[in-house]
């Protein structure tokens, strides 16, 4: 297989590349990444000299560059991780980049896939496109659940998903769409909940919990997600959607208390903050469709604490990676935090 991985310098894309090269050492992998604030080539330091791995810097909205890379490396499979993903950024920092990357960028990849007769394209999306469930709602998101996004980020991702369906129906483009739950694991940019809380606690700071902290998410280890995508790349049916989750639903307060306990802190470290606008209450994934193909997670619900401890220890042990990322991205993070605080102050003044 000659595989193009777009967005392969980010959190999930990096872990996927590591998984693939470990399992299929003879596959040729080209990592195509724009290297925005969340892209980090340090994630691939240990494989940068691997003759089966190549990095090319580029933007998925650049169709000419996509075609050039696909033709140069004789690519026959494509998987897309490239996305603007942070919900708070889409709310407080403007959502233009989200629409450009998550919707237009996917359309550009589809055009490239169509032009170059790619055998299969997997577009990695999110369960957030389904909208929200109520806490007491026992139902789960299935592949037939209507798309009903509430966040600008999710709406932009839904736009990309719909383009995938349109290109499959109209042009027969061999695309598979995946909807996954919240990921955790190594190499995650520290704006996301778990590493964000870890770094704050290690610095002796409190951790902010939105609203009442009862919002529920299904958490999956990033390597389990990678193994699911590996299966779908090989056996997923074109035109189909597959949900990926591990039946590991936790509310934010439960997760926060577990992290506090692992790191040896008490609940006095919790700081309740104003809930973010339109905060989805609950996500719940029915992953029975992909499980029928033979996939199952290693880090099941009863092994979540183990996976969380391993993740926390990874961040504690990889201080050079953490500090390098902090220094490299400090200005970007500071700009975002300033924007976030300004938006919160405006919200408070309006209530």
Of the candidates 207, 221, 206, 198, which has an alpha carbon nearest to the alpha carbon of residue 313?
A: 198
107, two tokens = 């359309």
Cβ proximity of 112 and 166 under 8 Å? no
Count CB-CB contacts under 10 A for residue 19.
18
What does the pLDDT read at residue 191?
Answer: 76
Eight-state DSSP code of residue 93? S
- The end-to-end CA distance of the chain, in Å, is 56
What does the pLDDT read at residue 246?
Answer: 96
The 10s digit of each residue's pLDDT in 260-271 is: 999 999 999 999
Query: Which of 127, 218, 224, 249 is flagged as catalytic?
Result: 127
In the predicted model, is pLDDT for residue 80 greater than 60? yes
Residue 93 lies in a domain: yes
Residue 47 lies in a domain: yes
In the predicted model, is pLDDT for residue 344 greater than 50? no
Query: Which of 53, 77, 153, 184 is flagged as catalytic?
Result: 153
Average of per-residue pLDDT across 97-118: 96
Pairing mode, strands 175-180 and 120-126: parallel
Residue 144 lies in a domain: yes
Residue 147 lies in a domain: yes
Residue 343 lies in a domain: no
Q: What's 285's domain CATH number?
A: 3.40.50.720
Grouping H, G, I as helix, E, B as strand and the rest as coil, residue 258 is helix
pLDDT category of residue 98 using cuts at 50, 70 and 90: confident
What does the pLDDT read at residue 323?
Answer: 76
250, two tokens = 């936790």
Residue 197 lies in a domain: yes
278: enclosing H helix or E strand: none
pLDDT category of residue 321 using cuts at 50, 70 and 90: confident
Residue 263 lies in a domain: no
Query: Which of 128, 191, 224, 280 is flagged as catalytic?
Result: 128
Q: What is the mean pLDDT of the chain?
A: 90
320, two tokens = 């050079």
151: enclosing H helix or E strand: none
Known catalytic membership, residue 271: no
Helices vs strands, H then E, count in the chain:
12, 12
Number of domains in the chain: 1
Question: Which of 57-71, 91-105, 199-213, 280-294 has the lowest average pLDDT?
Answer: 91-105
In the predicted model, is pLDDT for residue 341 greater than 80? no
In the predicted model, is pLDDT for residue 92 greater than 80? no
The 10s digit of each residue's pLDDT in 154-207 is: 999 999 999 999 999 999 999 999 999 999 999 998 878 899 999 899 889 999
Domain that holds residue 241: 2-250+277-335
pLDDT category of residue 88 using cuts at 50, 70 and 90: low
Average of per-residue pLDDT across 130-134: 94
Known catalytic membership, residue 128: yes
In the predicted model, is pLDDT for residue 343 greater than 70? no
The 10s digit of each residue's pLDDT in 282-297 is: 999 999 999 999 999 9
180, two tokens = 């996954």
Pairing mode, strands 2-6 and 77-80: parallel
Average of per-residue pLDDT across 81-98: 72
State the Cα–Cα distance between residues 276 and 274, nearest whole angstrom.
Answer: 6
Known catalytic membership, residue 130: no
What does the pLDDT read at residue 37?
Answer: 79
Residue 63 lies in a domain: yes
pLDDT category of residue 255 using cuts at 50, 70 and 90: very high
């Amino acid at each position: 297989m000659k595989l193009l991985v777009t967005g392969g310098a980010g959190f999930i894309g990096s872990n996927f590349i590591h998984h693939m090269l470990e399992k299929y050492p003879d596959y040729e992998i080209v990592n195509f990444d724009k290297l925005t604030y969340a892209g980090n080539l340090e994630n691939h330091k240990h494989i940068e000299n691997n003759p089966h791995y190549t990095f090319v810097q580029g933007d998925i909205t650049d169709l000419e560059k996509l075609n050039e890379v696909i033709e140069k490396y004789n690519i026959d499979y494509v998987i897309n991780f490239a996305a603007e993903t942070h919900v708070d950024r889409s709310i407080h920092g403007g959502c233009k980049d989200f629409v450009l990357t998550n919707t237009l960028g996917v359309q550009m990849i589809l055009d490239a896939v169509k032009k170059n007769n790619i055998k299969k394209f997997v577009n990695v999306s999110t369960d957030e496109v389904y909208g929200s469930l109520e806490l007491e709602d026992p139902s789960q998101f299935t592949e037939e659940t209507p798309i009903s996004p509430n966040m600008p980020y999710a709406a932009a991702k839904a736009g990309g998903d719909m383009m995938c369906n349109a290109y499959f129906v109209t042009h027969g483009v061999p695309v598979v769409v995946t909807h996954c739950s919240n990921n955790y694991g190594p190499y995650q940019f520290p704006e996301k909940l778990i590493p964000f809380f870890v770094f704050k606690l290690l610095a002796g700071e409190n951790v902010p919990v939105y609203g009442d902290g009862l919002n529920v998410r299904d958490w999956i280890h990033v390597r389990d997600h990678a193994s699911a995508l590996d299966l779908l790349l090989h056996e997923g049916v074109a035109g189909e959607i597959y949900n990926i989750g591990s039946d590991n639903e936790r509310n934010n307060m439960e997760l926060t208390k577990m992290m506090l306990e692992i790191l040896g802190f008490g609940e006095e470290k919790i700081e309740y903050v104003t809930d973010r606008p339109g905060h989805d209450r609950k996500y719940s994934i029915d992953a029975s469709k992909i499980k029928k193909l033979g996939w199952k997670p290693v880090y099941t619900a009863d092994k979540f604490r183990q996976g969380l401890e391993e993740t926390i220890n990874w961040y504690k042990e990889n201080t050079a990676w953490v500090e390098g990322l902090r220094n490299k991205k400090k200005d970007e993070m500071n700009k975002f935090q300033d924007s976030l605080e300004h938006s919160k102050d405006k919200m408070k003044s309006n209530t």
